[in-house]
A and B are shown apart, each in its own frame.
Chain A
Amino acid sequence: MTAPDIDLASATSFEVGHPWEQYAWLRRNAPVYWHREPDGPGFWAVTTHKEISAVSRQPRVYSSHAGGIRLNDPDPATLDAARKMMLTMDPPQHDRHKQLVGATFSRRNVAVLAEGIGRLCDEIIDDLGDREQCDFVQDIAGRLPSGVIAELIGIPRADGEQLYRLTEIIHTSDSAYATPADRTRAREEMLEYLAGVARDKRRHPDTAIASALLSATVDGDQLTDDEFGMFLLLLINAGGDTTRNLLADGMQLLFDHPADRDRLAADLDGLLPTAIEELLRFVSPVIHFRRTALQETVLRDTPIRVGDKVVVYYGSGNRDEDVFDQPDRFDITRNPNPHMAFGGGGPHLCLGLHIARVEIDAMLRRLLTRLPGLAPDGPAPRLPSNLIAGPRSMPVRLR
């Protein structure tokens, strides 16, 4: 195989989906690859399952706090703000924050939420009425996570949907679609709204997560309004467009594999569990996370210096030939399926993995039975981002 042009930094490389060819070449030839950066010091691009896992599971070597979790270096103010989120914390601070919400996202609690999530899915489909066409992203997939998060926070569903629109701007890489100023504005708008939520919930506590967070203590202190806002911002951002994109790209995969779709629709209880894991593996909604080396170390024979940026590519780990038999084959019965769609393990393993699975299960189940005529209806432009993979819109025919 000839070397493709390697560029995992610019958003344009992800315009038509993950750059699978680049990933494959890197896995074979340079699993820990020194990648130049036009406006930065360069970084190590890590593309094999084993090494992504090693980086993810050694937070004392590979820090999220030191330089943030995005490939592009943040300005000091942005990094400072980001460090109030557990995504950008290291243990032990990270673990103390995670314990605040751990119970909410536990398997047991999510099982309790499942019924409501199913109802929400039915309402989303009911709302389509007798329309012939719609945008799958905005009218179906996006409404689910934003509705679930609104329910968890204890705010009106319409507000949840507005917050999720801001998420999309925050996750976009530099482009005509959203400038750094747009991203800052979107984040400020979100925090302003959440400061209002904090005021409201302090006055009128309820049983939703926002009230629990406001009364919880970390290291003997209560969360400040700022920390509270960033905490919810993380829940909204992490649970919003990732789930939406998994549903949209996942549905597209089923459009592309009609025999699998039919088989799945005919045996939802039997096949949905493994099919969902395969959709997660194939779609990989999160493209990369970045760590910063806190000490000299060696990764697959490659010396890493203190301060080096180390960027792991989950989509590549999910196609690693050493772990998955025929990795490019879409197989809804694949089992075991140790994919990295929820991260490579370690403290930052996705907290929302149970609720995400319940959401995907509930929605696919209904889409495949209630809308059997669902079909693509035009091109689906993708989010210009080197961080999050997914379509911005996806026109579909409903019957």
Chain B
Amino acid sequence: MTAAPPPDDPALTVRVDIGRCASSGTCAAAYPDLFLLEDDGTLVVLAPVPRTALEDVRDAAEMCPMAAIEFDE
């Protein structure tokens, strides 16, 4: 899943490697405004992710037990 920023929007690109994601819900529990875990276990990035959320995204990526969250600053 990729939240691609429109050309002139300073949004962050946040990707979840669904091959690695274990649907633990760690990111969605900590940052419900950035990540949504659907009932079937699919993780969705709630795009667009504003640049102001950089620290939150960094923290979510760090706490992910599977290291499945990647982002471009």
Contacts and interface: CB of A to CB of B under 8 A. Distances in A.
A261 interface: no
Give the interface size class of chain A. 20 to 34
A98 interface: yes
B62 A345 contact: no
Dominant SS among interface residues on chain B = loop
Contacts of A54: 41
Contact of B22 (A91, A106, A108, A346): A346
A98 B29 contact: yes
A354 B23 CA distance: 17
A84 to B, nearest CB: 19
A337 interface: no
B63 A102 contact: yes
Interface in A66-116: 91, 95-96, 98-99, 102-103, 106-108
A335 interface: no
A235 interface: no
B39 interface: yes
Contacts of B8: none
A156 B62 CA distance: 31
B41 A345 contact: yes
Interface in B4-48: 21-26, 29-30, 39-41
B25 A91 contact: yes
Contacts of A374: none
A60 B39 contact: yes
B56 to A, nearest CB: 15
Nearest to A344: B22
A58 B62 contact: no
Interface string A338-355: 000000011101010110
A50 to B, nearest CB: 12
B39 A106 contact: no
Contact of A57 (B23, B29, B62, B67): B23
A357 to B, nearest CB: 11
Given A98-B29, A349-B65, A58 B40 contact: yes
B29 A99 contact: yes
B30 A345 contact: no
Contact of B25 (A347, A353, A354): A347
A343 to B, nearest CB: 8
B22 A349 contact: yes
Interface string A108-129: 1000000000000000000000
Nearest to B67: A107
Contacts, number: 49
Nearest to A99: B29
A106 B23 contact: no
Interface string A49-65: 00000100110110000
Nearest to A92: B29
Contact of B24 (A96, A108, A349): A349
A106 B63 contact: yes
Which of B21, B63, B67 is most buried by chain A, counting CB atoms within 10 A of its CB?
Answer: B63
Contacts of B40: 57-58
Contacts of B63: 102-103, 106-107
B37 to A, nearest CB: 9
Nearest to A57: B41
A238 to B, nearest CB: 14
A54 B42 CA distance: 11
Contact of A346 (B24, B30, B62): B24
Contacts of A107: 62-63, 65, 67
Contact of A345 (B23, B29, B39): B23
A57 B21 CA distance: 11
Contact of A347 (B24, B30, B39, B67): B24
Given A106-B62, A106-B63, A353-B65, A95 B39 contact: no
Contacts of B22: 57, 345-346, 349
B60 to A, nearest CB: 11
Contacts of A346: 22-25, 41
Which of B21, B22, B39, B41 is most buried by chain A, counting CB atoms within 10 A of its CB?
Answer: B22
A300 to B, nearest CB: 15
A107 B61 CA distance: 11
14 contacts: A58-B39, A60-B39, A96-B29, A98-B26, A98-B29, A102-B26, A107-B62, A107-B67, A345-B21, A345-B24, A346-B23, A346-B24, A349-B22, A353-B65
